[in-house]
Chain A
Amino acid sequence: MIRALLWFFIAYFIVAYGGRVLLLLTGVPALLRGLALRPFNDMPAPYSGFEPPVSVIVPASGDIATVIASVGTLLELDYPQYEIIVVCDDGAPGGLAALQEALQLQPFPEALWRRIPSGEVRTVYQSFLHDHLRVLDKEGFGRADALNAGINASRYPLICAIDPGLRVQREALQRLSEPFLEDPATIACMSHMRLDGAGALPRSLFRVLQIVEALPALVFRRVGWDALRSALPMPGDIVMLRKDVVVEANGFNAHSECEDTELALRLHRALRARGDRYEMRFLADPVAWTAGHQSTLAAIGPHRRWQHGFAQALRRNAALLTTGLARRPALPFMLFFESWGAAIEVAGYAFVIAMWAAGLIPAATAGAFLALAVSLGFLVSATALLLETLSTDLYPGLQQLARLAIVAVAENLGYRQLMTFARAAALAPRRRPTA
């Protein structure tokens, strides 16, 4: 029995991590093609007048000074036609007054079109300083509800939710909207924000650790999924969506902890069931930057939230296993290796350590198992570093590669396992806080 279980865990690690390496390699042709096209992407794109206008929705939560600073950055975006809708709900106390002062807001008699359910919008404000900036004052029911209210007030065919606190590139909207121009079947385009410090790695070891962790999981694995036409948004993404499909799907789910992913899965389900052709694209080149987490403890929270929300979203859209997406490897892989994977990995570690402690397996067997887990993890990280070199090369030079490689070894000697434990714990059922 012990032997059989050990074989199971060994096989699981090989399949899960081998699958991840294969997935990373699947994205190589697309990355190389992007590299060939880069000289032309660097040149300023002449606007043809076909660029679909974009409604940027900013859910104003947390520190209001950050929100105001973010709005300032968004007003500088380089795009022919866009509007900014700041949704200020009760989650930012005192925020409205500060916004009113900073942006010179005046009440506006907006004929709101309530296409999807959202909390009551009390007042719509128009900025006197910026014609394309409006602020909604509404009841607070969280980010998803704020986005739904923003969608109701939006006037343009593409929507893009941007959380405050990000450093968004000036050409972000242009780059995110490009797939919509290239292929009218595109319904979503996403890009992951990277940690600040392109060109030079941050000094802090923990920040470099976050970079090394994000490269395979949040960036290049999704380049692979993109090549397989199965990319899904993840927390920290900037996602541009076609509004009509979002409205048709009844907007973001206010009860989801991972609303972007849940909506994307719902769209996959609805459009596949209908037999429509559609595309969800992922851009490997970042369009926004963030400061990242300050400590390991701070990093655990988002991992747990993501894991719980993702598992919840998969459960809600389990019908995808029997509809079209099952023909693609994405959903089964995500279900077995991304969602349940954390629990199986933790079970594997716990089993081996417990058996060794009980004297049921020799130290050599436990050591071999741990060596297998660590070296497979290192292979995934190393492959991601190669892809980083081949594509964005945000941290060029041999010295930085050496530093990244050393941190990649360190990441697999404790940090990854710690995050896996946190994610596995998030899979345990819990009571929802009452509204």
Chain B
Amino acid sequence: MPGDSQVAFALAIAAGAFAASVSVLVIAAAVRAWRRWRQARIARVEVSWRQALGQAAADPSTGALAPISWIEFPDFLLLWNRMRRVLPGDGAANTAELLRRHGLDERALRLLRFGTLRSCLIAMATLGHLRYERAWPRLERLSRGRGPVTSFAAARAVLRIEPRRGLEALSHAILQRADWPVARLGSVLAELGPATVTPTLTTLLVSRPRGGLDRVVKLARFGDRNRIAPIMRGWLSATQDPNLVMAALDYVDDPQELMWAMEAARHPEWRVRMAAARALGRIGAAAEIPALVELLKDPVWWVRYHAAQAVAGLRGMTPEELQVVRETARDNFAADMLAHAFAELPIRRRRIFG
């Protein structure tokens, strides 16, 4: 018969597990109670914050804030960050004035030193929007930190405070920091606008750095196309790197550059051939049909698809001429793909013209 030791052991574990469960539930209850208390407290004061911010949005010299405690401060800043996005006209700038008047910029900077991750992120966003110069050194140091979330939030704030200086300071990080997603960088650059970001982008593109060029090429779309395009097109004669050639082909928009597209149409890399097909569709005319028909026989579906789209969208082609191209396509792949592209034409036109 199994002895008492097993019973004792099993019961001890069961009792321990039960006690741990109750403790865990008590913690959950405490967290919920604290959260409720805090929400109620914030809800009470938020009414007066909204009122003050609303008044200041209309007239920066009006609106007064009652003292804000440390517990409530991050929530106030969060409310301001949210409100400023939807305030019309000078509303956001006017409310920023209210914050400055109450010394909340300096207080946000202190929050950066002593706050939790949540508070720090809110403080960084605030300091950036307030364009608080005194926060620059601290934020710049934080932007060099290892954590991707904090460093990127700091970089974003730096760029908001002084965009050009910020871009200069961060250009190395833009290239090298793979943990800063290109999509997020793109949002920041779009916010800054082409006039601000183009000088940095052109400098980086011209220098063709060994690491991170692919990131800059992707971000180039946020610069001034007229200034970016000549640099990119210059790569067509200077490099064989498929990624660069492909990127450069997207900037080809002059029929005089047809020779590059024709050459790229024979490139061993299928993505380059696909970019060539797109370029031929953009700048080509009826004379480019033989090259596009060759691309229609390509073993890769995407090359055929873009070649067919290019044929369907060629300048100066009448529907009858397009029909002739389709009927004379002897290759089955080509004929199917042309039928597909021609059927898509009305849909594409609807998308473009509404």
Interface residues of A (CB under 8 A from B): 2-3, 6-7, 10, 14, 17, 33, 35-37, 39-40, 43-51, 108-111, 113, 126, 131, 181-183, 360-362, 364-365, 368-369, 371-372, 374-376, 378-379, 381-383, 385-386, 388-390, 393, 396-398, 401, 405
- A389 contacts B32, CB within 8 Å? yes
- B11 contacts A43, CB within 8 Å? no
Out of B25, B333, B339, name the residue touching A382 (CB < 8 Å): B25
Minimum distance in angstroms from A352 CB to a CB of chain B: 10
Given A36-B121, A371-B14, A131:B351 Cβ within 8 A: yes
Given A108-B343, A368-B10, A382-B24, A36:B17 Cβ within 8 A: no
Q: Please report whether the interface of chain B is mostly helix, strand, loop or mixed according to DSSP.
A: helix
Out of B1, B9, B17, B35, name the residue touching A375 (CB < 8 Å): B17
B186 within 8 A of A: yes
Given A48-B184, A109-B339, A43:B31 Cβ within 8 A: no
Given A48-B187, A378-B21, A365:B2 Cβ within 8 A: yes
Chain B residue with the shortest CB-CB distance to A42: B82
B6 within 8 A of A: yes
The residues of B that contact A390 with a CB separation of less than 8 Å are 31
Minimum distance in angstroms from B108 CB to a CB of chain A: 14
Out of B21, B187, B336, name the residue touching A379 (CB < 8 Å): B21
Out of A49, A108, A131, name the residue touching B350 (CB < 8 Å): A131
Q: Provide the bound-state CA to CA distance between A405 and B21, in Å.
A: 10
B218 within 8 A of A: yes
20 A-B interface contacts by CB (under 8 A): A14-B13, A17-B17, A39-B118, A111-B340, A113-B301, A360-B1, A362-B7, A365-B2, A365-B6, A368-B6, A368-B7, A368-B14, A372-B13, A372-B17, A375-B17, A382-B22, A382-B28, A389-B32, A397-B32, A405-B25
Q: Provide the bound-state CA to CA distance between A245 and B236, in Å.
A: 31
- B182 contacts A35, CB within 8 Å? no
The residues of B that contact A110 with a CB separation of less than 8 Å are 340
3 nearest A-B pairs in the assembled complex, by CB-CB distance:
A48-B186, A50-B183, A368-B10
Within 8 A of A (CB), among B250-298: none
Q: Provide the bound-state CA to CA distance between A393 and B34, in Å.
A: 13
Q: Provide the bound-state CA to CA distance between A374 and B11, in Å.
A: 11
B68 within 8 A of A: no
The residues of A that contact B117 with a CB separation of less than 8 Å are 33, 36
User: Is the interface on chain B under 10, 10 to 19, 20 to 34, or 35 or more residues?
Assistant: 35 or more
- A50 contacts B21, CB within 8 Å? no
Given A36-B118, A182-B181, A388-B28: 6 more A-B contacts, CB < 8 Å: A36-B116, A40-B121, A50-B182, A111-B336, A131-B347, A375-B21
Given A2-B2, A49-B221, A378-B21, A369:B10 Cβ within 8 A: yes
Q: Provide the bound-state CA to CA distance between A35 and B31, in Å.
A: 13
Q: Provide the bound-state CA to CA distance between A182 and B179, in Å.
A: 7
Out of A2, A46, A126, A376, name the residue touching B17 (CB < 8 Å): A376
Max chain A C-beta neighbours (<10 A), residue from B82, B221, B343: B343
B42 within 8 A of A: no
B29 within 8 A of A: yes
- A3 contacts B6, CB within 8 Å? yes
- A401 contacts B25, CB within 8 Å? yes
Given A36-B118, A361-B2, A372-B14, A382:B21 Cβ within 8 A: yes
Minimum distance in angstroms from B343 CB to a CB of chain A: 5
Out of B14, B21, B32, B85, name the residue touching A396 (CB < 8 Å): B32
Given A37-B121, A361-B2, A365-B7, A398:B32 Cβ within 8 A: yes
The residues of A that contact B337 with a CB separation of less than 8 Å are 111
Mask: chain B, 17-43; 1 = CB below 8 Å from A; 0 = not: 110111011011101110110000000
Q: Provide the bound-state CA to CA distance between A263 and B293, in Å.
A: 38
The residues of B that contact A376 with a CB separation of less than 8 Å are 13-14, 17
- A398 contacts B33, CB within 8 Å? yes
- B183 contacts A48, CB within 8 Å? yes
Chain A residue with the shortest CB-CB distance to B148: A182
Minimum distance in angstroms from A123 CB to a CB of chain B: 13
The residues of A that contact B13 with a CB separation of less than 8 Å are 10, 14, 372, 375-376
Q: Provide the bound-state CA to CA distance between A10 and B10, in Å.
A: 7
Given A109-B336, A113-B301, A375:B32 Cβ within 8 A: no
- B78 contacts A39, CB within 8 Å? yes
Chain A residue with the shortest CB-CB distance to B117: A36
The residues of A that contact B88 with a CB separation of less than 8 Å are none
Q: Provide the bound-state CA to CA distance between A51 and B13, in Å.
A: 51
The residues of B that contact A182 with a CB separation of less than 8 Å are 181
B191 within 8 A of A: yes
B57 within 8 A of A: no
The residues of B that contact A50 with a CB separation of less than 8 Å are 182-183, 186, 218
Q: Provide the bound-state CA to CA distance between A401 and B17, in Å.
A: 19
Q: Provide the bound-state CA to CA distance between A44 and B343, in Å.
A: 36
Q: Provide the bound-state CA to CA distance between A3 and B82, in Å.
A: 64
B317 within 8 A of A: no
- A111 contacts B221, CB within 8 Å? no
- B339 contacts A372, CB within 8 Å? no
The residues of A that contact B25 with a CB separation of less than 8 Å are 382, 385-386, 401, 405
Chain B residue with the shortest CB-CB distance to A402: B29
Q: Provide the bound-state CA to CA distance between A51 and B33, in Å.
A: 39
The residues of B that contact A371 with a CB separation of less than 8 Å are 10-11, 14
Given A39-B78, A46-B191, A48-B187, A109:B343 Cβ within 8 A: yes
Within 8 A of A (CB), among B336-354: 336-337, 339-340, 343, 347, 350-351
Minimum distance in angstroms from A301 CB to a CB of chain B: 30
The residues of B that contact A49 with a CB separation of less than 8 Å are 186, 190, 221
Minimum distance in angstroms from A176 CB to a CB of chain B: 14
Q: Provide the bound-state CA to CA distance between A280 and B337, in Å.
A: 35
B15 within 8 A of A: yes
Max chain A C-beta neighbours (<10 A), residue from B9, B118, B333, B351: B118
- B21 contacts A7, CB within 8 Å? no
Q: Provide the bound-state CA to CA distance between A405 and B29, in Å.
A: 10
B122 within 8 A of A: yes
- B10 contacts A3, CB within 8 Å? no
Minimum distance in angstroms from A182 CB to a CB of chain B: 5
B45 within 8 A of A: no
Q: Provide the bound-state CA to CA distance between A385 and B2, in Å.
A: 36
Minimum distance in angstroms from B214 CB to a CB of chain A: 10
B49 within 8 A of A: no
- A39 contacts B122, CB within 8 Å? yes
Chain B residue with the shortest CB-CB distance to A17: B17
- A379 contacts B2, CB within 8 Å? no
The residues of A that contact B17 with a CB separation of less than 8 Å are 17, 372, 375-376, 378-379
Max chain A C-beta neighbours (<10 A), residue from B18, B190, B340: B18
Q: Provide the bound-state CA to CA distance between A404 and B3, in Å.
A: 37
Chain A residue with the shortest CB-CB distance to B189: A48
Q: Provide the bound-state CA to CA distance between A422 and B121, in Å.
A: 48
B132 within 8 A of A: no
Out of B85, B118, B181, B350, name the residue touching A35 (CB < 8 Å): B118
Chain A residue with the shortest CB-CB distance to B16: A375
Given A37-B149, A46-B190, A369-B10, A181:B183 Cβ within 8 A: yes
